[in-house]
Chain A
Amino acid sequence: MDLNPIWLTLKLAGITTVLLLAIGLPVAWWLSKGRSIFKVILEAIITMPLVLPPSVLGFYLLLAFSPQHGIGKWLQQSFDVQFVFSFQGLVLASVIYSMPFMLGPIKSALQQLPASLSQASYSLGKTKWQTFIHVLLPNIKPSLLTAIVLTFAHTLGEFGVVLMIGGNIPNVTRVASIAVYDSVEQMDYSTANAYSLILFSITFILVISVFIFNKYRLKSPLE
C-alpha cells in the first residue's frame, strides 16, 4: 500500500492547523469583543463552510484561482503561484473550509470569560497583548485544544473541496480521502479499507484524547 496519501494528509492537516491557529486566535479575539454589522457578516461568511456543500466551495475556489483569469492569472503572472491542482491550493481550501472549527470554540470561550478579568489586568497597567497572553489564553485552554483537534481531524476528512481544487495527483494532491475513493473506484476494497482504517484510528484517538482531557476539567468536551 502506498503510504504517501497518509503522509500528505497529515502534512496538509498539520499546516492547515498551524495557519488557522495563527489566523484564528486574533480573529476570534476580535470577534468576541462587541457586535457590529460588519462582524455579523464576517462571522456568517466564516460559518458558511459548515453548511455549504464542500463541492460548491471547491467549485468557486477553482473558478477564483484558475490561472486562466482573474486573481489566479494575476497570482501566476506576478508571483508564479498556482493554487489550482497544487498542494498550496489544498492548503488554501483547507484553511477556508476548516476555519469555523478553529474560530467557533475559541470565540465562544473568550466570550464566556467575564469582562472583569481583562479589566483587572488593564488596571494593573498591562497591555491588551499581555492580557491576552497571560490571562485570557491560559483560561481557554480546553477550548483551544478542542479547536486544534477538531480543525486537524476535520482537515483529515476533507474530500469534496480538495477533489475540486486539487484533483487526484499522486504525491501532490492525492490525500487519503481521495485515495479511498480512488481505490473503491478501482474495486480495490482492501486498500480502501486500509486507508479508511488508518484515518478512522487517527481521528478516533484525537477526539477521545480531547474528551478525556476536558473531562478532568469538568467541562463539556466540545465547549
Chain B
Amino acid sequence: MIRIDIEKRLKTYEGKQVLKIAGQFERGSITKVYGPSGAGKTTLLKIIAGFIQPEKGNITVEGLTWLDTSSKISFPPQKRMAGFVFQDYALFPNMTVLQHLEYATKDNNWIKRLLAIGKLETLTTHKPEYLSGGQQQRLAILRALATKPKLLLMDEPFSALDPEMKAELIRELQSIFKELGTTVFIVSHNPLEIEGLANGEINIH
C-alpha cells in the first residue's frame, strides 16, 4: 500500500498554483496520471522519487515513511530506489545498451530477459546516439526495471513507440509488473494510450 498526501507550490504560465494530491494505492496497482500541460504530472512523479521536495506532505510505502515534512523525514532517491522512466529518457551518453543495464544490476539472467523484452539483444554495444527514438525509449524502460523496483514511475513512456511495438511491450510489462508486484504510476497526456493497462487514475487539474 502506498499513501500519498502532498502539497507543492508550482509556478506556471497562468501564475502560481498549488499541486495537491492525496490518495492510497494498492500494491501492484497501475495508476494513470493525466491532466493538462503544466498541471504538475511530472512534478508529482519527481516528488515521489525524491528529486523534488514538496512544501507539505507525507508519503508512506509499505508502512515505511519515505517523506514526512512535519517530522523532517525525507529519504534520498538512492534509498527510495523507485524506478523512473524520464520523458527525455535521460540515457547516459557514455554507456552502451548493455552497460546501462549492467550499471543498474549484476543479475545477468535478468539483463538477458530485459533485452529480449525490449528487443534490443542485437544492439547491446550501441550507445544511445546510435539508437532510434523508440529504441532509446525502450532502453529507458528496461533500465528502470533493471533494479526490480517495487515502485515504478513512468513519464510518457510510450510516446515514441509505434502502435504494434507499444501493444507488445505493454503486454510484456503487465506480466513483469505482476511477477514483481510492482506498483506503477504512468503519466500520459493521452489517457487512451494506456487504456486497459491502468486500473486507477489521478486527474490533475
> Chain A residues in contact with chain B, CB under 8 A?
114-117, 119-127, 134-135, 138-139
Contact = CB atoms under 8 A, between A and B. Distances in A.
Interface of B: 46, 49-51, 76-78, 80-84, 86, 88, 90-94, 103-104, 143-144, 146-147
Contacts, number: 56
Contacts of A115: 51
A90 to B, nearest CB: 37
Given A122-B78, A123-B49, A117 B92 contact: yes
A114 B88 contact: yes
B94 A116 contact: no
Nearest to A131: B78
Contact of A123 (B92, B94, B144): B144
A139 B51 contact: no
A116 B147 contact: no
Give the interface SS of chain A, mostly helix, strand, loop or mixed.
helix
A123 B81 contact: yes
Contacts of A125: 78, 81, 147
Q: In the complex, which of the residues B91, B94, B144 has the most CB atoms of chain A within 10 Å of its own CB atom?
A: B94
Given A124-B103, A127-B78, A119 B92 contact: no
B94 A122 contact: no
B141 to A, nearest CB: 12
14 contacts: A114-B88, A116-B86, A117-B92, A119-B49, A119-B84, A120-B143, A122-B78, A123-B82, A123-B83, A124-B103, A124-B147, A126-B103, A139-B92, A139-B93
Contact of B90 (A120, A127, A134): A120
A126 B147 CA distance: 11
B78 A126 contact: yes
B127 to A, nearest CB: 11
